[in-house]
Amino acid sequence: MKDKKIAFIGAGNMAFAIICGLIKKGFSPAQIIACNKSNQTRRQELSELGITVNLSNKEAVKHADVIILAVKPQMMSDVCSEFSEIDFSDKWIISIAAGISIHRLETLLPSAKNIIRTMPNTPALIGEGVTGLFAKSHVNLTAKHFTETLMNAVGKCYWVEEECKLNQITAITGSSPAYFFSFMEAMQQSAIQMGFSEQDARDLVQSVALGATKLVAQNPDVSLSQLRENVTSKGGTTAEALNVFNQHNLTQIVNEAMLAVITRAEEMEQSL
């Protein structure tokens, strides 16, 4: 585990969250190489963490045992074309890209035998991530175990039995931090309109989000409906808010939003 060299190809929001999470959990920066395209500020941040930067993608991959493909899906084909002369048969490939199937990765990196497709999320930065994982049955158990240990260092892992389930995981955990941020932004905006300062509005909204989440986590035997009902006094204020949500059919809106994620991921799988 600790003797494997790990190269991140792409060091953007998601890769950086994982890298910082790994370092916080005691992984050695000396194990990690990270490549990006041009962002010097990010290179400086990585360098300050003690991570090797400034290698070409190709050099990084040559030096690594494990390659984490962390560029935007639209870049994957171009980036992988740089690796045509590298033999991947003894290397492990972990992709975090949405909408890039294992079949596509096998085509892009024909010598690769051990490819693991994952779907992490940005709370990995603080060790609270969730990562969905999938690998075909022939993939080396040690490679699978390594990937699980790596992603467990930054949160929880959830293996899926079929690759198509990863698109569902994208809707449930990959994209979803943004749903919560959106909801919190809307609440903050409303509080600002009432006259609260931006900072106070943020503090209040963030405290309630944290409190509500902790209530859920610390009461595993209490259903979400029950927790909601505990706030909702008959004929009181909360019921009025929930009525507005119901009038606009919040449940259906959320369902449509999550299905839209899956549709987009499937479109990407067909087109990239």
Ligand X SMILES: O=C(O)[C@@H]1CCC=N1
Q: Which residues are annotated as a binding site for NADP(+)?
A: 9-14, 70-73
Q: Which does 155 bind (CB under 5 to 8 A by kind): ligand X, ligand NDP, none?
A: none
Q: Does 70 bind ligand NDP (CB under 6 A)?
A: yes
CB hemisphere CA count around 243 (13 angstroms): 8
| Contact status: 38 vs ligand NDP (CB under 6 A) | yes
169 binds ligand X (CB under 6 A): no
Say which entry of ligand X, ligand NDP, none residue 35 contacts (CB below 5 to 8 A, set by partner kind). ligand NDP
Kindly give, in sequence order, each residue whose CB lies less than 8 Å from that of residue 129, ignoring residues fewer than 6 positions away: 17, 18, 21, 120, 121, 122, 123, 151, 154, 155, 156
Q: How far apart are CA 173 and CA 83, in angstroms?
A: 31
Distances (CA, A) of 122 to 54, 153, 208, 260: 24, 13, 20, 20
d(CA 114, CA 138): 8
Binding residues for NADPH: 57
Is 41 within 8 Å of 53 (Cβ atoms)? no
Cα within 13 Å of Cα(148), Cβ side: 12
Shortest distance in whole angstroms from residue 271 CB to ligand X: 14
* Residues contributing to the annotated binding site: 9-14, 57, 70-73
> φ and ψ at 9, to 5 degrees?
-100, 105
Residue where the block lists tokens 């690594």? 64
Does 68 participate in binding ligand X (rule CB under 6 A)? no
Residues 174-193 that bind ligand NDP (CB under 6 A): 174
Least CB distance to ligand NDP at residue 35 (A): 5
Residue 130 sits in the site that holds ligand X (CB under 6 A): no
Q: Specify the stretch interacting with ligand NDP by CB under 6 A; choose among 5-13, 141-149, 205-213, 257-265.
A: 5-13
Counting residues that bind ligand X (by CB under 6 A) gives 4
| Range in contact with ligand NDP (rule: CB under 6 A) among 12-20, 45-53, 134-142, 148-156 | 12-20
Kindly state whether residue 9 participates in binding ligand NDP, applying the rule CB under 6 A.
Answer: yes
The reply to whether 108 sits near ligand NDP by the rule CB under 6 A is: no
> Residue from 20, 124, 174, 269 that binds ligand X (CB under 6 A)?
174
| Contact status: 57 vs ligand X (CB under 6 A) | no
Site for ligand X, residues 81 to 110, rule: CB under 6 A: 98
Distance set, CA 259 to CA 45, 96, 207 (Å): 36, 20, 30
Counting contacts by CB under 6 A, is residue 170 touching ligand X? yes
> What is the contact surface with ligand NDP in residues (CB under 6 A)?
9-15, 35-39, 42, 57, 70-73, 75, 79, 96-98, 119-122, 174
